Amino acid sequence: MAFATLGCKVNQSETEAMKDLFQERGYQVVDFGDSADVYVINTCTVTHLADRKSRQLVRRASRRSPAALIAVVGCWAQTAPAAVEELPEVDVIVGTRDRGRIVDYVEEAASGKQRVNRVQKLDAAINFEELPLDYSTRTRAYLKIQDGCDQFCTYCIIPYARGPVRSRVPERVRAAAESLVTSGYKEIVLTGIHLGLYGRDLEPGTRLLTVLRLLEDLPGLERVRLSSLDPAEVTPEILDHLASSERTCHHLHIPLQSGSDAVLKRMGRPYTAGEYLDLVRAVRDRLPRAGITTDIIVGFPGETEAEFQETLTVVREAGFSRLHVFTYSPRQGTPAAEYPNQVKPQVKEERSHRLISLGKELAMVFHASYLEQELMVLVEEEREGGKLAGYSDNYIRVRFNGPDELMNHVLPVRVLAATSDYVEGEVAKTSPPLITA
């Protein structure tokens, strides 16, 4: 059997969990490009392009193995089950609930020779869905602790695809983290659809800081990384914890979406550009070496050239270490899809290129600021030419020469050269000898 995944880190983590479920039943997982008896496509629906890619993957699987059983799961299946049903090649449809029974549904479809549709309504009564842990890499694990969103930004389909906020209880987070560390993982990335809302649904209520404190003394865990927080969720208490913690990474991904107050208001984002910049200054005051990354949406309905220029100004002033640039795509069922003055595709593309160029410029400045300095790097993978690679705690990609024995160790690397994508370095002479079991 084979898997394909579209979309975010949460989707990727959930795909790995489903792989484990199939392998526990004796299935052998092969590459999606190979012939298989079963194909599972974990879909995204953030943009129209994601929907189209999902359809293309269905047809590609069907052409490669016409007799194969095809399951479509995830966000597109949840929000548009009728559209999925129109595809005759699809045998199983599961949304963003009940993925833990995906093997049962596939086997039910195989035995009954009929389509199985198990898309469920998402409402306040649903609980956090416990899936197997993600063991997809050798060094870094993604631990999903939250699902759902009820912010309802005017452009976003995700609250409809994922439902209300649900959280994994803190004790289960700690137990899952212990299991990952026992399996050899040195870094855990806490993920969620809206991570900063963690715990607000639990009784008694709790918060993300509780989880960070629970993981602070976990033996064998080298790093905890936060995947994404909205501006209001980067509280003074969170910054205090990062500043004092020996484990929580000095990297914050804080979506900006636009630097124009008028656009932010149309988006339904609950902050101004000035408030965002105040937060960036607060982060830099408490965490001078922090990497701050962000998301920007280009071409939101009604965005004028002057409003886009405001975004460029804010991005430059914030001095982000990395930008993720998204071109606005209307999503049926969201308010923004009906807004007047939709921006022309060629204008959106041109603005996207300009913003990406600025992002590379800022990344180069950030990376170059570490020349001749040491970064602590978790060695994650080997690149062509014998290069090892990994990330610093402030999310700089670092490449250097070294033996395989350095894999899955955290060690200092001295930066010798910088590009906009990564830095090159050498293992620092201050590096302690490796201790292996």
Q: DSSP letter string over 199-254?
A: TTTSSS---HHHHHHHHTT-TT--EEEE----GGGS-HHHHHHHHH-SSB-SEEE-
Write down the residue that tokens 């160790």 correspond to.
409
> Which residues have a Cβ under 8 Å from the Cβ of 116 and sit 6 or more positions away?
91, 92, 93, 105, 106, 108, 109
Q: Do domains 2-117 and 374-427 have the same CATH topology?
A: no
Q: What is the pLDDT of residue 195?
A: 94
What's the CA gap between 356 and 352, in Å, rounded? 6
**306: part of which helix (H) or strand (E)?**
helix 305-318
The CATH-assigned architecture of domain 374-427 is: Beta Barrel (2.40)
**What is the predicted pLDDT for the residue at 437?**
37
Q: Write down the domain spans for the chain.
A: 2-117, 126-249, 374-427
CB-CB neighbours of 437 under 10 Å: 3
Position 435 scores a pLDDT of 47
Instruction: Give the number of C-alpha atoms closer than 13 A to the C-alpha of residue 127, restricted to the C-beta side.
Output: 7
**Domain 2-117, what architecture?**
3-Layer(aba) Sandwich (3.40)
Other Cβ atoms less than 10 A from the Cβ of 433: the count is 5
The pLDDT value recorded for residue 384 is 63
CA geometry: angle 82, 87, 90, nearest 5 deg: 100
- Look at residue 112 in the predicted model and tell me its pLDDT: 79
Rounded to the nearest angstrom, the gap between the alpha carbon of residue 296 and the centroid of all alpha carbons in its chain is 15
Indicate the pTM of the whole model: 0.87
State the Cα–Cα distance between residues 139 and 346, nearest whole angstrom. Answer: 41
Task: Look at residue 56 in the predicted model and tell me its pLDDT.
Answer: 94
Sequence-ordered alpha helix ranges (H) in 65-182: 75-79, 81-85, 102-112, 158-162, 170-182
Q: Which helix (H) or strand (E) holds 134?
A: none
pLDDT the model gives residue 433: 53
| Distance separating alpha carbons of residues 343 and 84, to the nearest angstrom | 29
Residue of 60, 84, 78, 85 whose CA lies nearest to 4: 60
**List of the chain residues with pLDDT < 50:** 435-437
**Distance between CA atoms of residues 322 and 332, nearest Å:** 30
**Topology of domain 126-249, CATH:** Transcription Regulator spoIIAA (3.30.750)
